[in-house]
Structure 1
Amino acid sequence: MTRATEAAAFFGITTTIYLALLFQWLPITLPETVQNFTLPVLPWWALVTFGAYSLGNIGYHVLTFRDCPEAYDELQVQIGEAQRDLRSKGMNIK
């Protein structure tokens, strides 16, 4: 199964269970506070939690971004080659 299929299956099952609990289609008795106050805001809570996790994950990976000295050296060589090529074609490069 691909990741997209797994994600679609997970969200489909989760949505089905959520709607069944919200509209009381399952014969499960939930406390009134859960039914009236928690379930209606659960999708927003999940969205905010996912956003916070995503921002934290991006921030952590930006903070621990590894430098690549080999890539820097390779890029400098390629820039030099491009400058020599353009100069040979008559372009003035500072």
Structure 2
Amino acid sequence: MIPKLFQWLLGGGLFIAVWQAFVLEKVDIQLTEIQRTIVLISPLLAVGVFGVISALIVLYRVATFNDCKDAAKELQQQIKEAKEDLSRKGLKFEDT
């Protein structure tokens, strides 16, 4: 299995190699002025699309994040037990 980082680096490297071949006119393909402009700004477009997709994934994961109610109750119980234990040892707590 190929690590994900290697896959991203391979894809990015291939994209840059093809882009550079077009920019340096190493390929024998005639481009119109509009197509040439699109080729020149395609790395910026790729970074922008990557950023938007990343933001959408983060927003989706935050929106669908599971609440662990049982774990929260257990943690509250442990805090209560710790406060009682420390109170018995002489530590005083302020109610907040």
Q: Which aligned runs of 4 or more in structure 1 are off by greater than 6 angstroms?
A: none
2:84 & 2:8 partners in 1: Cα distance? 50
> What is the CA RMSD across the aligned residues, in angstroms?
1.6
Instruction: State the Cα distance separating 1:86 from its structure 2 match.
Output: 2.4
CA distance in 2, matches of 1:21, 1:74: 61
Give aligned pairs, total. Answer: 93
Q: Structure 2, unaligned stretches of length 5 or more?
A: none
Instruction: Report what 2:82 is aligned to.
Output: 82
TM-score, normalisation: structure 2: 0.81
Partner of 2:57: 57
Name 1:23's counterpart in structure 2.
24
Q: Under a length normalisation based on structure 1, what TM-score does the superposition of the two structures give? A: 0.82
What is the rounded CA distance, in whole Å, between the counterparts of 1:85 and 1:17 in structure 2?
A: 67
- % identical equivalent positions: 30
